[in-house]
Structures are given as structure tokens and as C-alpha cells.
Amino acid sequence: MNVQEKLELIKRNTQEIITEEELKNLFETKKQPVIYLGTAITSTPHIGYFVWVKKMCDFMKAGCKVIVLLADIHGALDNCPWELLEKRYDYYKIVIPALFESLGADLKKLELVKGSDYQLSKEYVFDVLRMSTMVSVADCTKAASEVVKMGESPKLSGLLYPIFQALDEEYLKADMQFGGNDQRKIFVFDRENLPKLGYKARVEVLSPLVPGLTASGKMSSSEAGSKVDLLDDEPTVNKKIGDAFCEPGKIEKNGVLAFVKYVVIPHKEDNDLSFVVERPEKFGGDLAYKSYVELERDYVAEKLHPQDLKKAVAKEVNVLLGTIRKRVKGHEKLIMEAYPDR
């Protein structure tokens, strides 16, 4: 794979790259660039995680060193109870590799890092203090606003969150950071403030946010049907996706279509397979799609019915979750301890 092919793969299904010129230069000058993504140890992971996992698989394929930061300290800064952090970390340590495995990734190419393993070092803490003297409360509030649960009376911890995330780029020796578009303000904060400490600004790669399954378009813990948990059994997956908001001919706020676009079709493409929507012969028989463009065209033209699409997507989700169900089997006690309110 040459540099141009690597860049095209990396840009697939991304929303923005800060900056593309820096990305190109990075791949032209470094044999194995380092990409990292941080996931805060908070609520139970859901199928939306497949979006960033699939993208990280693209980075693997492009020859990058891939690091996933299991950010336990970030979880605490974002209101996860301290006494649950270790149990939740243990759970994430099981399911995150399983997500990669379900998409066919080589786990030998995946490096997991625990945040507290280096974020409590005197060097890191000193840099936190150094940066805190160089940035304003307004800067940190703006950066954290779309990521941290600030609430009516924000805690100081939420303002530390962007400082930690900026320093992670340096301490993980990353060349790039990947995240959802809700991270954009933090990514810009990183680029503006790392050089103040004498560290280089990194390349930031952003993906679109995937809508939830309800009409609100949001994935929310207060809306039980808005997301599919990685621990949901097959009947629950079928029901949640079967009940999902999926207007005929409309692609806006359509979490089902989004999952097809960012996970199912790329996964099929990379394995030279088609995404098959099964239908009775009396309704035209099965449909097979090699690209998302073809599928969206049929959906907008209402040649593809929402219920047929949802059944096919539920089937694909259950196949992907099969690996995770195997990996979490026998860890029921850990899950209960990590998420006592589940």
C-alpha cells in the first residue's frame, strides 16, 4: 500500500482532518505513525463503539501503531465514582479487544494503555500544573463543553479533562489522535496549547457522530431504546433495532443507516463481501449491496423498506456481538460490580 492509498483509507468515513497536509507529510516521513484514541471508563459500551473501532482497524491496515487509552482517570474526572473505576477498567479490558476481534483485527497490533499507569507520575502531574497556568477557565470550559457532563454546577475536575487529553498526546508519543466530532473543541485546545509547553501539535482525525435509534437522534442513558448495549442478548437487539426510528426515504437522524454506512458496509468491503438484505420473492427477493452509495440510493427511492433493512442490520449486529458474548461469559460478577445500577 503506497502513501496515497493509505491516506485514502484513513480519510474514508471521516468528517475532518486537522490538517490533511500534516497527515500527508507524516506518512511521507514516518514508516509507522502512531495513532491513539482515548475512551473514558464511564458507562457501559454500546454498538456505537464499533464506529471508532472500525476506523482504528483502518489505521492498522495503513501500517500505523494503534493505541487505545483506557482512560480511567478521565472517567473519574467525568463523574464516574472512584470506587467503581478499577472494576470498569477490568470490564473495558475485556470488551475493547473483543470489539476489534469481532471485526477481524489482529490483536497483536493493538496496544491497550491504562491512563493511571502514567497520568499519576510526577512528570505528568507537573505538566498538568504547568499547562493550568497557561490556559484560562474559559478555554477549558469551552473545550470540555461537548464531552464532559458539566451540569448546572460544574466541578473543577471537568476543567482538568482537556488538559489531561492534551498531555496524553505527548505522553503516549502519538502522532495523531482520533475521535468523534464532539471532541473537536478539545482537539483544537490540544493543538493550541501543547506548543506552549514545548511539545509539538498533533494531527487530529475526526469522525461524524452516529445518531441513536430513537427519533431524538441522540444516544442517551435516559432513553433505553436509543442504543444497543454490547451485553444485550439477541432478542433484545432484534427488538431495539426493530423499533428504531427509520423513516422511509429519509436519511436524517437514522441510526440504522448510519451503522450500515460506518460499520457494516466498510467491514463487508474489506472482506470482499456484499451486505445482503433478505426479502421474500414476492417482494422482489434479496438485495445485495457492495457500497453504501447503492444502498442509500435505493433507500431514498423507497426501493428498500425500513423493516427489511432493520432485520438485516439486526442480523449483522448479532453476528458482531457473538464474539463479545463469548468473551464476557463467566464475567457476570465483574459486570455486576462494575455497573451495580445496570
Homologous superfamily (CATH) for 3-207: HUPs (3.40.50.620)
Alpha-carbon dihedral angle through residues 9, 99, 19, 168, given to the nearest 10 degrees: -150
Segments of the chain scoring below 70 in pLDDT: 220-222
- Containing H/E element for 36? strand 34-40
Distance CA 178, CA 164 (A): 15
pLDDT for the residue numbered 1: 87
Integer-rounded Cα radius of gyration of the chain: 20
pLDDT for the residue numbered 73: 96
pLDDT for the residue numbered 215: 83
pLDDT for the residue numbered 221: 62
Q: Name the architecture of domain 234-338.
A: Orthogonal Bundle (1.10)
pLDDT for the residue numbered 154: 81
**Residues β-bridged to residue 229:** 46
Domain ranges of the chain: 3-207, 234-338
130-149 pLDDT per residue, tens = 999 999 999 999 999 988 88
Minimal CA–CA distance to 40: which of 114, 125, 134, 118?
114
Predicted TM-score (pTM) of this structure: 0.94
Report long-range pairs for 291-295 (Cβ below 8 Å, ≥24 apart).
291/265, 292/260, 292/261, 292/265, 295/260, 295/265
| 234-338 matches 3-207 in CATH topology | no
Distance CA 198, CA 189 (A): 15
The span from the first CA to the last CA of the chain, in angstroms, equals: 45
pLDDT for the residue numbered 147: 84
Q: Which three cell numbers stand for residue 334?
A: 465483574
pLDDT for the residue numbered 203: 98
Distance CA 73, CA 90 (A): 14
